[in-house]
Amino acid sequence: MWKLFKNMGKKMMSLILCGGFGTRHNNGVNKPLTKYKGIPIVEHLVRHLLNTNNEVYILTNDLNYKNFLYLKTKYDVDIINNGVNKFEKKKGAIGDIQYFLKNREVNNLIVLASDTYFGLEDITSLTLSEEPALLAREHNNSEYLRRHGIIEVDEEGYIISFEEKPKEPRTNLVAYMAYKFNRNCVDDIRRYEDNKDDGGTLIERLIKNYKIRAIKANDVHEI
């Protein structure tokens, strides 16, 4: 079911989505800047992406842009301001991906949510995939499953169905917003016009036209 890739590919673009407004936290700290193992989650992701030969871009909103600038002083990254300064005007995950893609030539793209930690081995497996893929893992807590995107896979590990936050999950396989897209997927995303705040609907659409592999995640921490 799972596939681990062993050959390092050429450098590609990676995008960490930090465009949210942290409305689920009341401690005044942006969710991506919440510390895990002593450093912000987004910084872990930056390190892992750089260690796997990725160009790293961090996309955030106008309100929180200044909070991420410190990363440029420590790492070879670009911080992108999407210009949004109010929650009501947020672009959503898909809208932010499209904003990044505008006027950029992109062949392969890694996309990560910034509120979930993934270990270096997981990021490596995703980066080295020779085909579109996402990170997923099995979970046996029914309440947890109902709060996430759930996938079914075939015998070869390709996704055959996706359902966002189902009341009655078909499987115990959770899909995370940790994606790798090829050029065809990227071009399809550019044309996407539906619910741009739901990254899961993107996968639901893409699996109709492309084979997307589920890669087993072993080291995941959500905030």
pLDDT at 11: 78
* CA nearest neighbour of 115 among 60, 74, 62: 60
d(CA 187, CA 210): 12
3 vs 142: which has the higher pLDDT: 142
| Mean pLDDT, the chain, whole residue set | 89
Residue 26: pLDDT band (50, 70, 90) is: low
Would you say residue 189 has pLDDT above 60?
yes
SS3 49: helix
Give the three-state DSSP class for 93: helix
Going by C-alpha positions, the residue among 107, 118, 114 that lies closest to residue 174 is 118
Domains in the chain with CATH codes = 12-217 (3.90.550.10)
For residue 29, pLDDT over 80 is answered with no
CA angle centred on 116, ends 201 and 143, rounded to 5°: 70
Q: Is the predicted pLDDT of residue 207 greater than 60, yes or no?
A: yes
Backbone dihedral region for residue 107 (phi beyond 0: left; psi -120 to 50: alpha; all else: beta): alpha
Local confidence band at 2 (pLDDT 50, 70, 90 cut-offs): very low
Q: At 74, is the pLDDT very low, low, confident or very high (cuts 50, 70, 90)?
A: very high
**pLDDT tens, 117-133?**
999 999 999 999 999 99
Q: Which of 157, 151, 99 is nearest to 132 (CA)?
A: 157
What share of the chain has pLDDT > 70, as a percent?
Answer: 90
Work out the average pLDDT over 49-59. Answer: 96
Give residue 28's pLDDT band: very low, low, confident or very high (50, 70, 90). low
Name the band, by pLDDT with cuts 50, 70 and 90, for residue 7. Answer: very low
- pLDDT tens profile 131-177: 999 999 999 999 999 999 999 999 999 999 999 999 999 999 999 99
